[in-house]
Structure 1
Amino acid sequence: MLKIPQMAKSINKKVYIKKISYSAPFTWLKQGVEDFTKCPALALFYGTLFTSFTYFYWDFLSHSPTLSDIAAPLLAMVVIIFGPISAMAMYDASKRLSNGEELSFRSILTVIKSAFKANGSYPSLFLSIILIVIAIMWMVFTPLIYAILNTDTFVNQNQTIIEAILNDIINFNNPLFLIIYGIFTAVTAWISFMISWFSFPMVLDQNIDPFTAANTSIRTALANKIVMLIWVPIVGIIVLASLLTPYFLGMVVTVPVLAHATWHAYKSLINKLE
């Protein structure tokens, strides 16, 4: 049963956000590395679990006769949905380290339990549901957009709509579809990122409802557009480089570091509920 917290106190209150320098993302990364070195056992435990799940899921998709064509977008979708909630333990670890606590391997269960009990399990799960709904909308609208904008590729060939879409993307057919679908996909990913960027750390740190957390995360991203435009490519490059390592082993280190860095980004941009 979900533990629904009492969050009435957050109604009619505001969360004040800050504007920071463009060099902040590099400071966050430095702080993420520092937190990693302070609790390496916990970070590596989380990194190994996340990497193992990601690799085996990719292996399953890439060898599936029906899903191999869309393995990459499905993997990206799952990481976007479950990455933030799975990082809750790393957020809690950074919070404890900021408070002067020392963490060891024995602290793993304590940190994990604390992360998901903070403010109840309801807000973080609800935020995950929001991301799942966005992902489903992306999957539903993809063939719809193609059906409206296709130039007889699907009609004239004996192929599934997924094969037709991939064929158009790979061969740069149907430019109008590629442009509109590219914009649609980018906007969907952008919205997902803005919602999840700070909402998960926020529901861990404060007694706040998921709607206020998501709204605050979006407001923060929009108020710091340049910083976000710097941070997103940094994260993308780090994650892509990690995925290019054998068995995705680079993610064992980079994912915990990015999770720790996200916590410090949240603390540097968002004040307490007032």
Structure 2
Amino acid sequence: MTETRPIRQPRVRVVGIERPLHWLRQGLLDFKRCPFPGLVHGFVMWCFGITLLTLAGQRFWLLAGALSGFLLVAPIVATGLYAVSRELQRGGRPKLATALRQWTPKHRPLMGFGLLLALAGTGWVLTSAALITGWAEAPVNSPRDFLQVVLLARSGWLFEAWLLLGGVLAAPVFASSVVAIPLLLERRVGVLTAVLTSWRVVLAQPAIMAVWAFLIMGLSTLAMVPMMVGLPWLVPIVAHASWHAYRDLVDADDVPERA
């Protein structure tokens, strides 16, 4: 009888509360060492964001959900930059091709996970649009309308409900993806193992992961004002930082590497 070897699971490390700032510093260093792939990714994200602004500029009831949903799918878009950081960590000289090679059919788990994130982002856009158009006391066609009719409304709980629903969706998506994508990139694990590892990381140290989530959200919000001019620079820094967060939080050395 052939003995079945147990599947090795990545181990979770516990780190200090100051580590998120360290991850950002490491991300900035990676960007400085290899800026071109990061700038390309950041420029693509900026173009996508400007396209959203152009298409939905006078439909802020749709744009509010689209921009926040945009952040849900951003981690999968940055996959190539995780590969750049991995190559830098190995002492190599990554190029744009290093990042682009990750978008090939051989990375089916990554593509499957990206599809799940896209579905989650689409679901939030539709939910947000339905909530604002259904409950707002007046049309919300501009940021000023959103401020007056939703955020500063004297009656009702529209903004609070919008934030609550967004958080209900964003929290599990973040918990499922915070280390899952770089783990799928580097190791031979399935989507379920990667997601469960990500949840184990969050449950082991919720305070630190909350700090990391708020840092990403806060910096992303600043980068989008005005006209998203900060995105080309922020996207690569946060992407590289996310790779270092994964390497800090997960010990997957016993899991076979992905070719």
TM-score, structure 2 as length reference: 0.82
Instruction: Name the counterpart of 2:196.
Output: 215
Q: 2:71 aligns with which of 60, 72, 79?
A: 79
Higher helix share: 1
Distance 1:159 1:229 in 2: 34
Distance in 2 (CA, whole Å) between partners of 1:249 and 1:187 is: 29
Could you say what the CA RMSD is over the residues aligned between the two structures, in angstroms? 3.1
Pairing partner for 2:46 from 48, 51, 71? 51
Letter aligned with residue 228 of structure 1: M
Give the drift of 1:57. Answer: 2.0
Preserved contact between residue 10 and residue 208 of structure 1 (Cα < 8 Å): no
Shift of residue 218, structure 1, vs aligned partner: 1.5
Counterpart Cα distance in 2 of 1:230 and 1:250: 21
Matched letter for residue 111 of structure 1:
A
**Match for 2:15 among 14, 20, 44?**
20
> How far is the alpha carbon of 1:264 from its aligned partner?
0.2
2: CA distance, partners of 1:108 / 1:100: 16
The CA deviation string for residues 31-58 of structure 1, in whole angstroms up to 9 with x for no partner, is 0011011001222122112212212222
2:103 match: secondary structure: helix
- What is the 5 A alignment of 1:132-211? 132-138=118-124, 167=149, 170-175=152-157, 179-211=160-192
Find the residue that maps to 2:11 and give its secondary structure: strand
The 2-side partners of 1:244 and 1:146 are apart by: 22
CA distance in 1, matches of 2:240, 2:92: 15
Partner of 2:106: 120
Question: Which structure 1 segments of 5+ residues have no match?
Answer: 1-8
Q: 1:209 to 1:11 in 2, by over 3 A?
A: farther
Aligned to 1:6: none
> SS in structure 2 opposite 1:171?
coil
Using the alignment, how far apart are the partners of 2:48 and 2:71 within structure 1? 10
What are structure 2's unaligned runs of at least 5 residues? none
- The corresponding residue for 1:38 is 33
Paired residue total? 246
Q: Is the 8 A contact 1:10 1:207 kept in 2?
A: no
After superposition, the Cα gap between the structure-2 partners of 1:168 and 1:210, relative to the gap in structure 1 and judged at 3 Å, is: same
**Aligned: 1:242 with 2:228:** no
Displacement of 1:233: 1.7
Query: Letter of the aligned partner of 1:13 in structure 2?
Result: R
CA distance in 1, matches of 2:91, 2:152: 52
- Residue 71 of structure 1: how far off its partner (Å): 0.6
Give the superposition deviation at 1:240: 1.4
**Separation in 2 of the partners of 1:45 and 1:182?**
32
**Residues 62 and 128, structure 2, Cα contact 8 Å, conserved in 1:** no
3-state DSSP of counterpart to 2:188: coil
Gap change, CA 1:172 and 1:266, over 3 Å in 2: farther
Query: What is the TM-score normalised by the length of structure 1?
Result: 0.78
Q: Secondary structure at the match of 2:178?
A: helix
Q: Return closer, same or farther for 1:234/1:158 CA change in 2, 3 Å cut-off.
A: closer
1:259 alignment counterpart: 239
Equivalent residues of 2:65, 2:129 under 8 A apart? no
SS in 2 for 1:222: helix
2:89 maps to which residue? Answer: 98
Paired AA for residue 15 in structure 2? I
